[in-house]
Amino acid sequence: MSALSVETQGRSHRSALGRDVLAQACLQTAELLQLPKGYRVGIVPASDTGAVEMALWSMLGARPVEVIYWESFGKGWLDDITQQLKLTEVTSHTAEYGKLPDLSQVDCTRDIVFTWNGTTSGVRVPNGDWIADDREGLTICDATSAVFAMELPWEKLDVVTFSWQKVLGGEGAHGMLILSPRAVARLESYTPSWPLPKIFRMTKGGKLIDGIFRGETINTPSMLCVADYLDALKWLEGIGGQMAGIQRCSNNLAAIEAFVEKTPWIHFLAESPSLRSSTSVCLTLDATPAQVSAIADLLEEEGVAYDIGAYRDAPPGLRIWCGATIEVADIEALMPWLAWAYQEVVG
């Protein structure tokens, strides 16, 4: 346990120490991500989901919406927008698992909601070239398994959300919300027609509650989790910053690619190499669903890999986490075990 975590235990998040530690988390995040001038970082309730919901409930409704999804979490944002917020001017762009929608068809005069990395499909957006520099709408990006793992075109993203338990391996329950000046302008110029729960409110009297982005959290955070996050940021800075994190994820993906290339019975769910996620790597096997499940169970029984089965809504297969905290040597050590388990189950 770090000295900082000891100091903050039992202390109020409203104390001078608590506010300072929370402010450090926001500031150091912005510095490590090299955010453009004017971008704000806040700590909000309910992990990445809470951060996304805050953006959807607070900003949508001002203009028509485009939702891009190709896996379960993106589909969930569409459902919230159409079934909970009940917006009607909504266009969706979708694709099957393993593919990406045609991004050239996205209308940037509208607000755009999308995930950068599809954790349940292993498909990521390759770049931000499809987002217009002179866009009229906001871009709201769920990037929870991409921040610190993939290069993001910040100038083209107005709202970005992530959580500590993904790429940096921290604890859950806390979300990170990054706003561009354009997003702040929307918050200060637009009031939704629906009531907003307290934990979603980011303005008061038509002005941004700026304290949220200086460590004055809406609800009570875990100071132990905050200290752990600061330790993770310190670790990342010590190994070379966000580019080092990106490289570690890329190296982990490369280790799996080398195995798949020489193994005929295993395949990437993502059809195109340029779309392959470097964090949530999804694979399909030449095996029945029951056999795939048996392989995952066998690996867990041997203490080799846990929770390696594909997400419940995805095609049967394996999903290997390759975030920045994962050592490439461990990925390389896993590959022979995959071959062994396949042989044991399928033959």
**Quick check: 145 pLDDT over 70?**
yes
**Quick check: 168 pLDDT over 70?**
yes
Q: What are the structure tokens assigned to 285, written together?
A: 């096997």
Architecture of domain 242-345: Alpha-Beta Complex (3.90)
Tell me how far apart the alpha carbons of residues 276 and 265 are, in angstroms, rounded to a whole number: 18
Tell me how far apart the alpha carbons of residues 245 and 324 are, in angstroms, rounded to a whole number: 5
Res 229: pLDDT: 95
Which residues in the chain are classed under CATH 3.40.640.10? 3-239
pTM for the complete prediction?
A: 0.96
CATH number corresponding to 3-239: 3.40.640.10
Of 34-38, 215-219, 249-253, 315-319, the poorest mean pLDDT is in 215-219
Res 6: pLDDT: 63
How much is the average pLDDT of 119-129?
Answer: 97
Mean confidence (pLDDT) of the chain: 95
Residue whose C-alpha is closest to residue 45's, from 75, 13, 79: 13
How much is the average pLDDT of 121-137?
Answer: 98
Alpha helices in the chain (DSSP H): 3-8, 16-33, 47-59, 72-79, 181-189, 223-239, 242-261, 289-301, 328-345
Residue whose C-alpha is closest to residue 228's, from 149, 174, 178, 150: 174
Which residues in the chain are classed under CATH 3.90.1150.10? 242-345
Confidence at 7, pLDDT banded by 50, 70, 90: confident
Kindly give the interhelix angle for 242-261 and 328-345, rounded to the nearest 10 degrees. Answer: 30
111 SS3 class: strand
Alpha helices in 166-222 (DSSP H): 181-189
Res 255: pLDDT: 98
**Quick check: 139 pLDDT over 80?**
yes
**Quick check: 1 pLDDT over 50?**
no
Count CA within 13 A, CB hemisphere, residue 346: 19
Residue whose C-alpha is closest to residue 58's, from 187, 199, 218, 216: 187
Inter-residue long-range contacts of 164-168, CB under 8 Å, 24+ positions, other chains counted: 164/225, 164/228, 164/229, 164/232, 165/47, 166/48, 166/279, 166/323, 167/245, 167/249, 167/279, 167/323, 167/324, 167/325, 168/229, 168/232, 168/233, 168/236, 168/245, 168/323, 168/324, 168/325
Measured over all CA atoms, what is the biggest interatomic distance in the chain, rounded to whole angstroms? 67
65 backbone dihedrals φ, ψ, rounded to 5°: -125, 140
**Quick check: 3 pLDDT over 70?**
no
Res 37: pLDDT: 97
Q: What are the structure tokens assigned to 66, written together?
A: 């485009």
Q: What are the structure tokens assigned to 256, written together?
A: 């799996």
More confident residue, 201 or 17: 201
